[in-house]
Amino acid sequence: MRKTFAKFWQKPEKEETVENSIPSENLSSVDKAMNNLIKMKEATKILKASAPTVRKYARLGYYKEYRFGEKLVFYDKEEILNFIVNKCQSAENY
């Protein structure tokens, strides 16, 4: 019983990747935009910053914040990556 209980809480050893069922060629522009949106948790990992810092950068206009309701917040992954690249390039100029 103890082994099965421990296995229940552990992550599976092999994680299967599930690809999108819709091919990228047939996606509309709205679907492409929605596929590029990431949640706050992913944005904090990409920027290596806290949630308040991610929100602050969005307020300052470095990238856009997309809100769906009161708590559901998304960010565009490309905008965040462009922000990181631009900041690195400006740091090299100094």
64-82 pLDDT tens trace: 999 988 889 999 999 999 9
Task: Give me the chain's average pLDDT, please.
Answer: 80
Pair 74, 38: CB distance under 8 Å: yes
Q: What are phi and psi of 23, to 5 degrees?
A: -65, 150
* CA separation for the pair 16, 14 (Å, rounded): 6
- The arrangement of secondary structure in 31-94, i.e. its CATH architecture, is Orthogonal Bundle (1.10)
Q: What is the pTM of this model?
A: 0.64
Instruction: Over range 10-20, report the average pLDDT.
Output: 57
Domains of the chain by residue range: 31-94
CA distance 66 to 68: 7
CA-CA distance, 41 to 48, in Å (whole number)? Answer: 10
Where residue 44 falls among pLDDT bands split at 50, 70, 90? Answer: very high
